[in-house]
Homo-oligomer: A and B are copies of this chain.
Amino acid sequence: MPFCNAINPPSKTFVKPLCVVCEDDSCGQHFGQYSCKACAAFFRRAVASKMTFECRFDKRCDISPRVRNICRYCRYQKCLDMGMNQNAVQAFRDSYDKRFTRSPSASLSYNANGHADMRRLPQLFDGYAKFQHLRSTSFGMLAAESNSQSWDPGVIYRSLDLETLLKFIPQSTYSSAKKGCHMETSLAYDMIMEDHFAPFSSLTPDDRKKLFDQFSVFFCNAEKSYNTYKAFGHIENNDKVMLADGGYVKLDEVYKYYVDSIDINADPEHLAR
């Protein structure tokens, strides 16, 4: 009853409905059509993993129980042609196994269906470019304040050697990074709240705030890695990390970063962990 677009007749005959894909015995409806468990599982995996297939023959392969695994392209195509509904594939769920504590994939985002989603990528790129533009003007002020040279994080310095690089890139301290972080946060907040960032436009202001809370710290970390790669990725045995203020921290000199800390009363070496 869930979907009355089902292709097999409901129950005019007493014959058990067959799988609309491979004509094996069906076990009820799956994703809107009568199908066997095997075809249902195949369809779910294909949709959830966004798999793409190719036919090695003429895209007219037979799909019957004995041979249904010979061509995945034609099997998947027949699933779609027979009306199996991609939107009925849901998000991934919690693990049944309590020992299984790690994230399924820490590097991919998931859309409303819980699938890795790349459709937003161009919009995100566009938003990041706008963000970079706002930032480089704002950092001009910060650089003037600290008497160091301005450095545009939007440029890749692959062609420069380490000595030249370090003339442009200031060393970070806690207070400079804090100023930078505050500015970054304000900028990102404005971007998100003022509808410049495309994917967020569809959300209510309240939801955007929540999202920003979740997002900003991860974004900072991700961008730290990204900028480190852009600045030092071509240097072998790099021991420096870029921060959001456009400065760097040498890993064996982390204590320097906390040396001018004003609002954390603790041993800088200990804070560095």
A residues bordering B, Cβ < 8 Å?
A: 52-54, 56-57, 60, 62, 66-67, 69-73, 90-95, 98, 100-104, 110, 112-114, 214
Contact = CB atoms under 8 A, between A and B. Distances in A.
Of all A-B residue pairs in the complex, the 7 with the closest CB atoms, nearest first, are A69-B93, A72-B94, A66-B112, A67-B91, A54-B98, A56-B101, A71-B94
A72 B52 CA distance: 31
Given A57-B103, A66-B114, A67-B114, 17 more contacts: A52-B98, A54-B98, A56-B94, A56-B95, A56-B100, A56-B103, A60-B214, A62-B214, A67-B91, A69-B90, A69-B93, A70-B91, A70-B92, A70-B93, A70-B114, A71-B94, A72-B94
Nearest to A98: B54
Nearest to A95: B56
Contacts of A94: 53, 56, 69-73
A132 to B, nearest CB: 28
Contacts of A73: 94
Nearest to A60: B214
A200 to B, nearest CB: 15
Contacts of A101: 54, 56
Contacts of A214: 60, 62
A93 B72 CA distance: 9
12 contacts: A53-B94, A54-B98, A56-B95, A56-B102, A66-B90, A66-B113, A67-B91, A67-B110, A69-B90, A70-B92, A70-B114, A71-B94
A8 to B, nearest CB: 16
Contacts of A93: 69-70
A93 B69 CA distance: 5
Contacts of A92: 70
A104 B103 CA distance: 29
Please indicate which of the listed interface residues A52, A56, A98 has the most CB atoms of chain B within 10 Å of its own CB: A56
